[in-house]
Structure 1
Amino acid sequence: MTAGVIPAPSSSLGIKLFSCTLFFKANSLTNSTTTNYLRPPITEAVIEVRVNHTLKEENVNKIVKKLQSIYPNKSTVNNLSINITPQPEGGDQLNVNSRPEDYHLVSDDQINIAIVSSNSLAVSQLAPYQGWEAIHKNFVEAWKIWKRVSSSHPISRIGVRYINRIDIPLQDEKKIDLEEYLTFNPQVPILSDLPMVVYLMQITQPIDSLWSVNITSKGIQSPLVNNLSLLLDVDVFRTKDIPLSDEGLWEAINEARSIKNDIFDKCITQKTKELFY
């Protein structure tokens, strides 16, 4: 088997999970230069803040109502968790726990989204990507609404997440070599001469004493004819020493975005970058 080679996806696919370690040095990220792409592969950009407090339902509803002037289309998502605990006498105990609903608010153009829960606020932007300034402005507006309704509480997590879909044109052989497009690849044992059908990699790594990153990569069905798509999901987050002031928060969020950009560039090859020009 040729590691890192996947053929065009079929209608019936299995999933294999691989893990690997990807090292990033904080100083190299800070000193690198971000590339501006003509056609960035971004399908969704997200800014999220979580607080170390659970808001009352009435306050959540107030926030939702005020945000609906910007995001008028509302839906709710129920949060359920199921735990199965083996019992000493035999059998299993099933525990179902529910948390307050999340509210998904969507703009009329279906591009901008706000997600409100009892302890978090997220703003996302779907393709076509309108730029960092646009999503940052949307989050600042939403956060001001949140703070007008809720008292100030310590922030437990901030994150900037970008989900990218890399569309790769297929040649006559109808397969690609991952090493030509990504700088990290699953290492698999030689099981046969057949190429890998599906891959999924998930990586979590500290960047420095404050920042960490979750990276997910997998092959997905492409919406384009004669293409194979790779998903590259980069989530940069911080859970300690988060600034209390809004000015400090904006600075930290901008820093997360810069780190995310550098990590994305380090995850892809020059051949991949040429797809975005």
Structure 2
Amino acid sequence: IKAKLPDGVGLNIFDEFQENIKDRFKDRKTKRSFQAVFSLSPGKDESTPITPKDKIEGYLFHSKNENKIVQARLDGFTFNKLRPYEDWNKFHSEARELWELYNKIIKPISVDRIALRYINRIEIPLPFDDFSEYILTNPQIAPGLPQTLSHFLMRIEIPNDEIGAIAIITLTMQKPTETQKLPLIFDIDVIKTDSNTEKRSDMWNDFNLLRHFKNEIFFNSITEKTKELFK
């Protein structure tokens, strides 16, 4: 959730937020951003570096077993769930509870964007003839070229005008594992930027719509052979 905070809000406001979640999210880590700018002047062959900026954006609060992370930042809120995954309703409910606490304490003046992101790691058994055996959204090589891939990175953006959202799909692969499997990373990021800031409770229904859109993309992109890998 990307939000705009009132002017003058400082990092110390997150101390109260931490106090309310410390029983579940005890470990706090600083989230930083780093920016370096170079300027190139006419008539000069070399760029002039400007002093790099190291900025604290907020904090990451980790659960005791490290599989849940709450990000409370000066530009918004994020709830991450790592393996093992759980029921959507349970995840949705906990995310909403934590956001409402953030909203109560931090008091953002607007919500500018909401997003739901799933990073799927699919281990494909080696050898196989074609990616289309497992995933229907895949890189295609011209017939006249060698058909072996050592690596690929593919990005696709699909709009959904019906719900006012866009999906950013990123596909890539990692090095084969020792057990002769090829990890395929299928990253689906669904984003809605026209959230109704007057009715913030409605955005939780929007998250359900984003999840439905994500599921359409995922299940229409994989084959029955891939589904067998999850059993």
| TM bracket (short chain) | 0.7 to 0.9
**Structure 2 counterpart of 1:253, from 188, 199, 207:** 207
In the TM superposition, residue 176 of structure 1 has moved relative to its aligned partner by 4.6
In the alignment, the residues of structure 2 paired with residue 271 and residue 128 of structure 1 have an alpha-carbon distance, to the nearest angstrom, of 22
In the alignment, the residues of structure 1 paired with residue 115 and residue 198 of structure 2 have an alpha-carbon distance, to the nearest angstrom, of 15
Please say if 1:274 is aligned against 2:224: no
Change (3 A) 1:194 1:235: closer
In the alignment, the residues of structure 2 paired with residue 154 and residue 261 of structure 1 have an alpha-carbon distance, to the nearest angstrom, of 28
In the alignment, the residues of structure 2 paired with residue 191 and residue 61 of structure 1 have an alpha-carbon distance, to the nearest angstrom, of 61
TM norm structure 1: 0.74
Structure 2 equivalent of residue 34 of structure 1: none
Structure 1 equivalent of residue 54 of structure 2: 98
In the TM superposition, residue 157 of structure 1 has moved relative to its aligned partner by 0.6
Structure 2 equivalent of residue 39 of structure 1: none
Gaps of 5+ in 1: 1-48
Change (3 A) 1:116 1:223: farther
Moved over 4 A (4+): 189-192
**Structure 1 counterpart of 2:2, from 50, 55, 65:** 50
Asked if 2 retains the 8 angstrom alpha-carbon contact of 1:79 and 1:99, the reply is: yes
Structure 1 equivalent of residue 193 of structure 2: 239
In the TM superposition, residue 56 of structure 1 has moved relative to its aligned partner by 2.4
Task: Give the % identical residues.
Answer: 26
Asked if 2 retains the 8 angstrom alpha-carbon contact of 1:79 and 1:100, the reply is: yes
> Quick one: which amino acid aligns to residue 215 of structure 1?
I
Change (3 A) 1:206 1:105: same
Structure 1 equivalent of residue 65 of structure 2: 109
Q: With a CA cutoff of 8 Å and minimum separation of 6, indicate the structure with the bigger relative contact order.
A: 1
**Is 148-157 or 49-58 further displaced after alignment?**
49-58
Asked if 2 retains the 8 angstrom alpha-carbon contact of 1:75 and 1:103, the reply is: yes
Gaps of 5+ in 2: none
Structure 2 equivalent of residue 203 of structure 1: 156
SS at match of 2:42: coil
In the TM superposition, residue 65 of structure 1 has moved relative to its aligned partner by 3.5
Taking only aligned residues, the RMSD between alpha carbons, in angstroms, comes to: 2.2
Asked if 2 retains the 8 angstrom alpha-carbon contact of 1:204 and 1:213, the reply is: yes
**After superposition, what is the alpha-carbon deviation per residue over 1:188-225, rounded to whole angstroms, capped at 9, x for unaligned?**
45685361111111122321161011111111245561
**Is 220-229 or 71-80 further displaced after alignment?**
220-229
